[in-house]
Each structure stands twice: as C-alpha cells, then as structure tokens.
A and B are shown apart, each in its own frame.
Chain A
Amino acid sequence: MENNSDIETRKPPVATTGILGWCRQHLFSNWVNSFITLLVIYFLYQLIPWFLDWSVFSADFWTNYKGELIVDRTFCSRVADPEGDHGACWAIIIVRFYQFMYGFYPSEQVWRVNLTYFLLVVALLPLLIEKIPGRKHLIKFTIVFPIVAFILLYGGFGFQVIPTNKWGGLLVTLVLGVFGIAIAFPLGILLALGRRSQLPVISMFCTLFIEFIRGVPLITLLFFGMVMLPLFLPEGLNLDGLVRVLVAVTLFQAAYMAEVIRGGLQAIPRGQYEAAQSVGLSYWQMNRKIILPQAIRISIPSIVNTSIGLFKDTTLVIIIGLLDLLGIGRGALADATWMGLSNEVYVFVALVFFIFTFSMSRYSLYLEKKLKTGINMGAD
C-alpha cells in the first residue's frame, strides 16, 4: 500500500446500489432467502386481493346487491343470497356507528364528547410537535385538560350530568386508555424513584406496591375494584363504576411503568449523579433536570410498549359489565337483528384499535429518532 494518495475514490459497483441492488441484497441473497421471498409473495398474492374484495369491492355498505337499504341481517347480500359471491356487510357498523363511538350517551349532548375529542387533540399537540408556536401556553392547557374533559363528559357546572353507565364504545376505551396512561406515567416515575430511594420505608412501600400489583392479573384487580373496593369505603360514599375501574387500570399501569422507568434509571451512570451533586443540585433538581430526562429517553420504546398493552387491556372491562368498543361490538352481535355478522364487527374493532396503537408506535419511533439526533452525536 504505497502511494495511498494516488487511489481515487470510485463509485460502488452497480449491483450493490439502487432498487436492483437492494433486492439482490435483501430478498435474493441466497436460495433460502429467495425461497422465503417467493413464498411470502405467493401468500400476499392470495390474501390481499381476497381481503380487498371481501371488505370493499363485493361488500355491502348502506344497500345490498338489489339496491335495498339494509335494516337488519336478512337484507345483507351474503345472508339474502348465500349462493352469490358477496363480501362483508358493513351496514351493522354503519347503523350502530353512534353506539360504537359513544355508547348510550344522549344524542342531544353528544357535542360534548366531540368537543372533548377535539380538545384532546389540542392537548396532545404540544407533546407531539416540539416547535409549535405558543407551546408553553398549550402545555398549561394539557395539564388542566383532564379536569376540563371530566366536566365536559360527566357534567356539572351547568352541564347536564350524564352518568357513566350511559358511556360506551370508543369513548370508554379512550377514557380508560388516555386517563390510565396520563395518570400512571407520573405515578410510575414516583414509584420508580421511590423504589430506588435510600430511605428504607419509602423503598419498601414502593417495592411492595409494585410487586403486589404486578403479581396480580388485571382482571383480578378489576374485580377487586368493582366488588371489594366498595366494602372498604365508608357507608354512603359510592364511587362511580367507571372511576373504580379507572383506579384499578391506573394502578396496574403505574406498577408496570415504574419498572420500565426503573430500568432506564439503572442505565444512567453513577457519574451523572455525582456530577449533579457536586455542582450543588438538590435531589429533586437532580432527578428532574439530569437523571429523569435521560432515563425516560432510554425507556421510550418500553414506555410506549406498556402503554399499547394497557390500551388493549382496557377491553377486559367487558367482564365487569362496562361496554367499551369491543363490548358494544359484542352487544351488537347478541342482538337478533344482526346475529352472525361477527366477522365484520371484529374486523372493525380490530381496525380501530390498530389505528390507535399503530399511531402510538409511530410516535415512539419519531421520538427516538428526534432524540438520537439531539444527543450522543459523533463521539462515544
């Protein structure tokens, strides 16, 4: 290797770049890889056209194949004409769409739910977009949003009270999911710090709490909230059913969140604590400014993972009689006028859940990317 400086930089060989190069490298690098690629292509070829045909091209929406408006299951093309080649009958979703979204919330008051959904988006904006103008003021709104949402949804302050047994569908799913995650997150941080505390009483209490809650299935906690919690409360004080479930879901989520964040805390080198202490930061300043920002950054994938888990676990409330999205779906199927359309209902419910969980997962990827560019560039 004499005269290194004389060697010019060349472009890479053609076969390793471009679409062709990519395909060769990733799809057909050897015969096992090629075989799997072909197999997958075959299955996709079988599956996608069939599903599109079933769900869109041959499906009924408002009317059936004869052009009649569908009012019950007998009008569905695939029920009325079993010999024919008909797809899904989405009329069950369309007819019951209101229930799927709001449960039995009175329709003249439903603008309150819609307004809450809109405000939820506003409250999420400063968390989603860092460079939004007026972020500081929006954050203030995000913090008071739960109270605003409660008043809007439940009532009081001049609004008609809508008892929670009228709530249902996506509304219940979102209330449990959003409130559960939003309350569990700070609670989880406190529990994680508590478990690592130098003070034995606090550390023992937090450890016991986390271990107990984690050691019990969520269903058990839900039953506990529903059946046993009222026994412990003083006579006359009757907590709302949804609140009791929310407490159970939140505590459950907080315990998991605490362990996830504790994992992040353990990854922070001791030197960070020492540097923070040596410049004179107090315990809370150190955690707020130095330790937690780094620990939470590391744990974002796991935090989102447990949050998605919780969001889906809210469907368990069906067991204690709350009608969330899935519960409304099962209710629709139990109705004689729509019996037998379970495919449509479950596909729809799955799709709604997927939209929410997939957005959460994308958001976590976006966060990871954004934070990676912020720190640890270059060296290390």
Chain B
Amino acid sequence: MSDNSIISLQNVNKWFGDFQVLKDVNLEVKKKERIVVCGPSGSGKSTMIRCINRLEEHQEGKIVVDGIELTGNLKNIDSVRKEVGMVFQQFNLFPHLSVKENITLAPIWVKKMPKAEAEELAMKQLEIVKIPEQANKYPGQLSGGQQQRVAIARSLAMNPNIMLFDEPTSALDPEMIKEVLDVMVDLAEGGMTMIVVTHEMGFAKTVADRMVFMDEGKIVEEASPDKFFNNPESDRTKLFLSQILHQ
C-alpha cells in the first residue's frame, strides 16, 4: 500500500455461493483521485465498490479505507461508513420522510447534531445539488433526476471523504442524466475522492483521473482516460469500447 492511498484493495476475492465474483482484485486510490469503473454487466464492478463500505463482505484479501481495515469488527465498519458516502442506482431515498428529513436523519442520529443545525446543513446541501425548493416534498413527488440529487445531498450531509457512485444514472430518463452528472462534475472539481461505476463515457473523459475496466471479476485494464479510450491494451477492452461507443 502506497503511503498516500486513501483506499487500498489487496488481492480481494469474493464468492456468491460457488460463483466467484471478484478475483484477486488490486486497486489503490489516492486522495482526491477520481476513478471511473466500467465493464460489462456481471463483471463485479458494483460488488467491488460495495465491498468498500462493507455492504458486501469480502472473503479473502485486505481492504483498507483511510487507514481503517475492514474486518468483522463492527466498530471499524461504522467508522468507515462515516468516511464513505454512497449513491445507488435506485436512489433508495426513504419514502416516508420528506426531502429535508432524508438529509437531516443521519446527521441528527449518527453525529448527534442539533436539529436546527442539521436543517441548515440540509438546506446548504440542497443548494449544492440545486433543488432547495423541493425541501418539504416527499421523494415520491420528485422526478428521478431530482431524487438522485437528493440522494447525493443526503450522502454529502455526512461530510464524507470518499463518495462511491453505483451506476447513478442508469435508472434515469435520458433528459435527467445531465442534471445528475453536472452535480457530480461539480463535486469532482471540489476535490472529492470519487469512485464511479458508470457507462457515461463522456463523463468519464472529462472527470476521470483513471479508468478501471473490469470483466469476469478481474480488473483487466487500468489506464488514464486518454490511453484507455485511444490506445487500450487488451482486446477485451477494445471489444467493450467498440460496443458501447458505436451503438
């Protein structure tokens, strides 16, 4: 593990039953680095980032996040989750709480923040994702793009050092993808460490410091966006790129 890595995966292996989803995955992420992970479905990219905040448990290898190793130790898991925010494909907002309550919940209960302060924070986060006027609505009343931006605000309210995005735009109508990507670009420019699983190659080209291509549970290729898109090494990457870039 290099000294300035904030996330380090070393020889990580994971199985679902007999099926091996991650095979000897090694990944080092530096502070403020933006990584875009792509690959065909079932390649293990979601599983990999879900291991980073322990929504999935890895069976072999070592995962260290901000100096904390993820083991069965519940205390470690809690501290890592405080460092790492996550945005899901299906938004996963809490439907019985208003937008504002969705955002204030964790600061109030996990960080024991006073309610007034948490609400102020929530409004600040909603300004950042550009929907402060929706604060008192319920998730079911918002469009998909707005819901995903609330989900981003909810994660940001916990002031994480690292943000994980698990296909954040895959469930959105084409018209709404841009509003979510814009927020993510802002976030990247603000210096957030990000790992983004996405097939939005335009976003990858503008934002990514490094591309990671996965197939069948393995990291096949890691390269700068320039090299990845213009001069990929492996044939598998070339095939994948030709399919998604020339549809």
Contacts and interface: CB of A to CB of B under 8 A. Distances in A.
Q: Are A and B genuine complex partners? A: yes
A151 to B, nearest CB: 36
Contacts of A26: none
B88 A274 contact: yes
A278 B109 contact: no
Contact of A275 (B88, B138, B140): B88
Interface string A276-301: 11111110010001100110010000
B155 A375 contact: no
A276 B81 CA distance: 10
Contacts, number: 81
A277 B96 contact: no
A294 B93 contact: no
A343 interface: no
Q: For chain A, give the interface size range.
A: 20 to 34
A289 to B, nearest CB: 6
Contacts of B53: 277-278
B62 interface: no
A272 to B, nearest CB: 6
Nearest to A371: B96
Nearest to B89: A271
Contacts of B82: 280
Given A274-B55, A279-B154, A280-B106, A377 B138 contact: yes
Nearest to A274: B55
A289 B109 contact: yes
A82 interface: no
A274 B164 CA distance: 13
B90 A282 contact: no
Nearest to A278: B86
A129 to B, nearest CB: 20
Given A275-B88, A285-B109, A293 B96 contact: yes
Contacts of B144: 379
A249 to B, nearest CB: 32
Contact of B81 (A269, A277, A377): A277
B149 to A, nearest CB: 15
Given A271-B90, A289-B109, A374-B138, A379 B143 contact: yes
A278 B85 contact: yes
Interface of A: 269, 271-272, 274-282, 285, 289-290, 293-294, 297, 374-380
